[in-house]
């Protein structure tokens, strides 16, 4: 599927994910956030990466439970008291605010997950390497640093387990000593590869002249049309948010969650914004499926 959402121009992709992050922070309403989460899950599932969501589900649940539980315990604002816990009131407003925060954080995490799949390193470098080559390289290396270390640590753990070095067996002292051994091997491996990469880049003359892109991304008519639609929708969402549309007022006094006409208009724009990649990817998926 070479003509799906992932194949769009880097400017179009970066505009979509930047606008989605901005919308997730501006539109603080459970309905908006839940809609964004559902459509992002649909997009990730069509792209056959639903397994990643399942693997990260325990992490999401841990963060979600912590937010929903901690917020009512530290914030007692609100007029609708549900019950008392250790002589402290647990209010409906604090619980609802915690749930909304959970939805907002989940939307951001799913956005990052989809971004990592669709915006590859060559697209990121294509966008920024011409203007800020050193900063773009540092950012790209930072984005890949954590997953790279996780993969290497998994490989080191499997190899060292054959030698009896494991953090899951033995006494506490042995597990601590084995853990330090694994970290030492991981750091030595990473530093050695960093030196090799630096020598390779220096030998290739990196930074001596203006950087050129190996992969040339050309914006076709579809990219221009989608970029224009996304830009218009982002502007509408920003203006609507500045006017107070699409926001759930919880503190200091919870207001009605019923949508007004302006909220429905903004919801339509937000839904259409998220439906664009789903339609593009779904159309390609259907074409691929029925062409066999």
List the chain residues with pLDDT less than 70.
1-3, 78, 80, 129-146, 206-216, 252-253, 291-292
pLDDT at 143: 64
> So what's the pLDDT on residue 16?
92
Residues 190 and 158: their CA atoms lie apart, in Å, by 17
For 277, counting Cβ atoms within 10 Å of its Cβ (0-12 exposed, 13-18 middle, 19+ buried), the class is: buried
CA distances to 56, 157, 190, 224, 237 from 272, rounded to whole Å, are 27, 46, 44, 17, 11
| pLDDT number for residue 68 | 78
- Residue 180 main-chain phi, psi, to 5 deg: -65, -35
pLDDT confidence of residue 273: 93
Q: How far apart are CA 13 and CA 38, in angstroms?
A: 19
pLDDT of residue 1: 42
Cα gap 253→84, rounded to integer Å: 19
Does the pTM exceed 0.85? Answer: no
Query: What pLDDT was estimated at residue 121?
Result: 74
Q: What is the pLDDT of residue 148?
A: 75
88: helix, strand or coil: strand
């Amino acid at each position: 599927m070479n003509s799906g959402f992932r194949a769009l121009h880097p400017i179009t992709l970066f505009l979509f994910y930047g606008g989605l992050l901005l919308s997730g922070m501006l539109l603080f309403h459970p309905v908006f956030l839940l809609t964004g989460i559902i459509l992002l899950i649909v997009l990730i599932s069509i792209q056959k990466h639903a397994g990643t969501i399942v693997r990260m589900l325990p992490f999401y649940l841990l963060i979600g439970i912590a937010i929903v539980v901690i917020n009512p315990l530290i914030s007692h604002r609100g007029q609708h008291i549900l019950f008392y816990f250790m002589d402290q009131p647990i209010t409906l407003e604090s619980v609802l605010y915690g749930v909304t925060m959970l939805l907002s954080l989940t939307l951001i995490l799913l956005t990052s997950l989809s971004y990592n799949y669709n915006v590859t390193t060559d697209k990121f470098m294509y966008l920024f390497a011409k203007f800020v080559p050193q900063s773009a390289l540092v950012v790209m290396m930072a984005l890949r640093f954590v997953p790279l270390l996780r993969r290497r640590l998994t490989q080191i753990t499997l190899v060292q387990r054959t030698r009896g070095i494991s953090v899951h067996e033995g006494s506490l002292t042995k597990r601590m000593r084995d853990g330090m051994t694994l970290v030492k091997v991981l750091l030595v491996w990473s530093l050695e590869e960093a030196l090799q990469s630096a020598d390779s880049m220096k030998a290739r003359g990196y930074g001596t002249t203006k950087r050129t892109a190996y992969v040339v991304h050309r914006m076709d008519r579809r990219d221009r049309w989608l970029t224009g639609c996304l830009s218009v929708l982002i502007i509408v969402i920003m203006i609507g948010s500045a006017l107070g549309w699409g926001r759930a007022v919880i503190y200091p006094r919870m207001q009605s969650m019923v949508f007004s006409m302006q909220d429905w208009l903004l919801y339509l724009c937000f839904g259409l914004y998220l439906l664009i990649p789903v339609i593009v990817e779904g159309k390609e998926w259907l074409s691929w499926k029925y062409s066999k």
